[in-house]
Amino acid sequence: MISREEVIHVARLARLRFDDDEIGRLQHELSTIIDYIARLNEFDLAGVAPTAHAVDVKNVFRADEPRACLTQEEALANAPAVECGHFLVPRIGEG
């Protein structure tokens, strides 16, 4: 069983937060799922190359030419908070 501390640690890495009940639920659910996926370790796959891409593709190049892109206004249109043409966020460190 995955510990409470592990759930809290992984949640922090993923920028998520859960209340006590949810942590208990996740301990149980993640343990079930991880037990299931851990069965892959029953197979000896030493020497097998991992797949990164299922279809053979070569590098794709294009000319490095300027082309139309979003305007600043368009890029900011969906932002929850904007100031002076920039994305506005809460303070980053201790004030």
Which residues sit at the interface with other proteins, rule CB under 8 A? 2, 6-7, 10-11, 13-18, 26, 29-30, 32-34, 36-41, 43, 45, 48-55, 57, 60, 62, 70, 74-75, 77-81, 87, 89-93
Residue 58 C-beta: closest distance to other proteins, Å? 10
DSSP string of 6-63, one letter each residue: HHHHHHHHTT----HHHHHHHHHHHHHHHHHHGGGGGS--TTPPPPS-SS--------
Rounded to whole angstroms, the Cα distance separating 7 from 34 reads: 13
Residue 65 C-beta: closest distance to other proteins, Å? 11
Residue 62 C-beta: closest distance to other proteins, Å? 6
